[in-house]
Amino acid sequence: MASQKETRGALMLDVTGFELTDMEQQLLARPAVGGVILFSRNYQSKTQLSELIGGIRQCNNSLLIAVDQEGGRVQRFRDGFLRLPALFNIGEFAKTDLKMGCMIARSSGWAMASELRAVGIDFSFAPVLDLFSVNSSVIGDRGFSDDPRMVVTLATEYIQGMHEAGMAATGKHFPGHGTVAADSHMELPVDTRTFDQIRKKDLEVFAQMTGIVDAIMPAHILYSKVDSLSAGFSTYWLQQVLRKDLNFNGIIFSDDLTMLATESSGEIEQRAQLALDAGCEMILVCNNTNSAIQVADFLEAEGFGKNERLQQMVGREFCELNNLYKSDRWQKESKIITEFNSQGESNNE
């Protein structure tokens, strides 16, 4: 584990394959780089993944290593990892058996975090706190429920499971992505609701979770009746609403600055500046190595300092995989999840 005084650069980027290229090794060693996010293309086997993570650590041992391991259709590592249920499936089950639904949520958070920590990953960008809506295909079953109270209840259990496994939690996508149809990966979604309408629905979840989550990721969505900038670039949303009104003291990550939703905000350096000025402490630049290099150049030229607060996201407890799988708790929690998945498959036949 890194020391308490460790500082990290503001840029989180990705790598292209199963092992690092020479150029990636040089890039990861740069002072502007503070983290790496892994994708499905980076996973072949647990042995290969451990070697890749070891290579990343050799470049810079202070780098945060993250992944999107939500469950359901967003689970980057599958073969050899426990299949995690979609959060919406947990929410639907909890409608009829809340106690067991809470148990499944906590088991999912713990098992997900435990497996990732055992291979050396610091955290998963989870859980999704967006409300479920049939109008949103990009969120859809990634959200627990369309009921804010149910989302808060289950997300609290899920996060407690993550914390018990030594992993920090990141709630996304502030102040709520689930009600818009457009996919921010492809275009800039526009939400035309008033602030009061958002406050009574989507924002209610985040308002109750700011004391529990360790980090928050804002949405690349323009809430046109609230501010002229999308939430991830908005000082109003991040500084006034999130920091001051909701009293959030954790880390703020930008969503990926290469998403098409961000292109209208300028060149990649301008987007980086906007996100940092709005209050993001770490910015993600993925799937475009040239853009990542440009942002690293920009950050270093502009003298953006390293951030000690990112220490909060370092994974804590650590257990070797073999010991994890032999543990009584793994046997218990994985059985709960496997039986829940099997029950869902039986119901769909």
Task: Give DSSP secondary structure letters for 161-213.
Answer: HHHHTT---EEEEET--TT--S-TTTS--EE---HHHHHHTHHHHHHHHTTT-
> Distance (Å, rounded) from C-alpha 121 to C-alpha 65?
5
Count: domains in the chain: 1
Please answer whether residues 311 and 4 qualify as being in contact, where contact means their C-beta atoms are separated by less than 8 angstroms: yes
> Distance (Å, rounded) from C-alpha 314 to C-alpha 68?
16
Q: State residue 288's pLDDT score.
A: 94
Catalytic residue of the set 147, 183, 185, 227: 185
Per the domain annotation, does 1 fall within a domain?
no
Per the domain annotation, does 5 fall within a domain?
no
Per the domain annotation, does 129 fall within a domain?
yes
Per the domain annotation, does 3 fall within a domain?
no
Residue 255 a catalytic site member: yes
Q: State residue 133's pLDDT score.
A: 85
Which pair of tokens denotes residue 234? 């908005």
> Distance (Å, rounded) from C-alpha 92 to C-alpha 99?
13
CATH of the domain at 162: 3.20.20.300
Q: State residue 306's pLDDT score.
A: 76
The list of the chain residues with pLDDT below 50 reads: 1-3, 349
Per the domain annotation, does 332 fall within a domain?
yes
Q: State residue 3's pLDDT score.
A: 43
Q: State residue 177's pLDDT score.
A: 84
Distances in Å between the alpha carbon of 47 and those of 18, 20, 43, 61, 80? 11, 15, 10, 19, 11
Catalytic residue of the set 68, 122, 141, 255: 255
Per the domain annotation, does 4 fall within a domain?
no
Q: State residue 116's pLDDT score.
A: 97
Q: State residue 186's pLDDT score.
A: 61
Whole-prediction pTM: 0.94
> Distance (Å, rounded) from C-alpha 168 to C-alpha 155?
13
Q: What is the pLDDT of residues 56-86, one digit of tens each?
A: 999 999 999 999 999 999 999 999 999 999 9
> Distance (Å, rounded) from C-alpha 72 to C-alpha 91?
13
Domain of 209 in residue numbering reads as 11-348
> Distance (Å, rounded) from C-alpha 262 to C-alpha 288?
14
Residue 163 a catalytic site member: no
Which pair of tokens denotes residue 71? 């469950």
Q: State residue 183's pLDDT score.
A: 59
Q: What is the pLDDT of residues 144-183, one digit of tens each?
A: 999 999 999 999 999 999 999 999 999 999 999 867 766 5
